[in-house]
Chains A and B, each alone.
Chain A
Amino acid sequence: MIVPLTHVLILAGILFALGVLCVLVWRSNVIMLLIGIEIMLNAAMLVFVGGARHWGTADGQVFALMIMAMTSAEVSLALALVVHLHRKRDTVNVDALTTGSRPGAPEPSAGPLEEGPEA
């Protein structure tokens, strides 16, 4: 192994903490929140790949691949929900989601792209 397993784990730990930080800080913005979750999952994948290298088995790599597939499914569904809500309510702000539109919430102006070209 090129570097000690500890160093890989430290890197993964830092990434995971950064992901948690991103989720906590941006908890009102769906897109950034999802990005934070992606960072956390990448940290987990790094641990799996490091573990697979350490033990010389491929189980960890298989798990990492499955994480990727799972997260792409989650992201696509989340973004579909975001687009659906945006059409109805025009916001990506989580706080504004549960209790109707919050009075002070910034309302992004409806741009020319409201009706996306993919329709």
Chain B
Amino acid sequence: MIYDPLDIALMLAKIALVFFVILTLAAYLVFAERKVLAWIQDRKGPNRVGPFGLLQPLADLIKLLTKEDFRPIGADKWLFYLAPAMAAIPAIMIFAVIPFGAPLRLFGHTVQLQVADLHVGLLLFVALSSLAVYGVALGGWASNSKYALLGSIRGLAQLLSYELSMGLSLVPVVMLARSFRLSDIVAAQAGCWFIVYQPLAFMIFLISIAAECKRIPFDLPEAEGELVAGFHTEYSGMRFGLFFVGEYLNIIALGGLAATFFLGGWHGPLLPPVVCFSVKVLAFAFLFIWIRGTLPRLRYDQLMHFGWKILTPLALLNILVTAWWLVLRG
């Protein structure tokens, strides 16, 4: 196989761009979360560093980098060091398959605004999100701490359970688009977004990804009221930072995917495609913060029952109904 140097350059440029944008976005999402939460709770939030506190993420970064990096006695050295990376890497890799804009014409080339247009892209996303479990599980286990271990066991059970309903909620999308390729899925929504056909699948997906991100009301693995900080109790400094950033990267990625699967991807009225896509992603991020500001945490058994006894059967039923509908429609 012969590679065109221009293709390689474009690919590298796209990777660099995506990296830069999502890392900045993740940092500012932390800031935005604090601001919005403050707003919901009728207080000011961070406002000392820079104008309106805009330099707060930078200050946080410096703080995390200069903190002492320690490891508990009896901790499993390699796994303890590796786990934060295992949590963050799958989240970053998911961006490879998300199409974030309409194809561009550039130097006589058609440039897909997507790092890799894989023909099993949707499955790659499911695979990567199933790998994200390992960061949580190994981090908590390797810490050699009771709270961390309990948190990671909870995390394992929760992520495993909700991954099922998440995967099942995506099956109707594949059935409608007749492809696993994300660009095909976006193209299939040119006329009508899938949320119109599949509101139930969208709701299931939304709830499941909230659980996958371990966000309130599903933040049992790190429930600070009961487990100190759950699986990352023993982490400090930049390793904790990686877990933290990983969570926000995950929010952005899953927001992007929700937009791609159900809200027409980069399709949208008036605005240019890339902007449309960004608006949808940011709206998702806001939704998550809003939920965090308003909902209480579930009890653990409620969480498992909800996943297994309500979401999964509903998702299966939805697949069945969609299949019948597609068959009858011909």
Contact = CB atoms under 8 A, between A and B. Distances in A.
Given A112-B146, A117-B157, A118-B157, 11 more contacts: A113-B149, A113-B150, A116-B153, A117-B150, A117-B153, A117-B154, A117-B300, A118-B153, A118-B300, A118-B304, A119-B301
Contacts of A118: 153, 157, 300, 304
Interface in A98-119: 112-113, 116-119
A119 B153 CA distance: 12
15 contacts: A112-B146, A113-B149, A113-B150, A113-B153, A116-B153, A117-B150, A117-B153, A117-B154, A117-B157, A117-B300, A118-B153, A118-B157, A118-B300, A118-B304, A119-B301
A116 B304 CA distance: 13
Contacts, number: 15
Nearest to B154: A117
A69 to B, nearest CB: 14
Interface in B141-177: 146, 149-150, 153-154, 157
Interface size class of A (residues with CB under 8 A): under 10
Contacts of B146: 112
Interface string B37-61: 0000000000000000000000000
Chain B, interface size category, equals under 10
Nearest to A118: B157
Nearest to B301: A119
Nearest to A116: B153
B200 to A, nearest CB: 26
Interface of A: 112-113, 116-119
B170 to A, nearest CB: 18
Interface string B206-217: 000000000000
A23 B298 CA distance: 42
Contacts of B300: 117-118
Interface in B110-166: 146, 149-150, 153-154, 157
A7 B48 CA distance: 64
8 smallest beta-carbon distances between A and B, as pairs = A118-B157, A117-B154, A112-B146, A117-B153, A117-B150, A117-B300, A118-B304, A116-B153
A117 B304 CA distance: 11
A105 to B, nearest CB: 25
A113 B150 CA distance: 8
A66 to B, nearest CB: 17
Interface string B263-300: 00000000000000000000000000000000000001
Nearest to A119: B301
B149 to A, nearest CB: 7
Nearest to B149: A113
A67 to B, nearest CB: 18
B168 to A, nearest CB: 15
Contacts of B154: 117
A111 to B, nearest CB: 9
A118 B153 CA distance: 9
Nearest to B304: A118
Contacts of A117: 150, 153-154, 157, 300
Nearest to B156: A118
Interface string B61-73: 0000000000000
A28 B146 CA distance: 28
B43 to A, nearest CB: 34
A82 to B, nearest CB: 16
A91 to B, nearest CB: 20
B258 to A, nearest CB: 27
Interface string B288-322: 00000000000011001000000000000000000
B182 to A, nearest CB: 22
Query: Considering residues A112, A113, A118, A119, which has the most beta carbons from chain B within 10 angstroms of its beta carbon?
Result: A118
A106 B146 CA distance: 23
A117 B151 CA distance: 10
Interface in B228-247: none
Contacts of B150: 113, 117
A117 B147 CA distance: 12
A2 B149 CA distance: 45
A118 B305 CA distance: 10
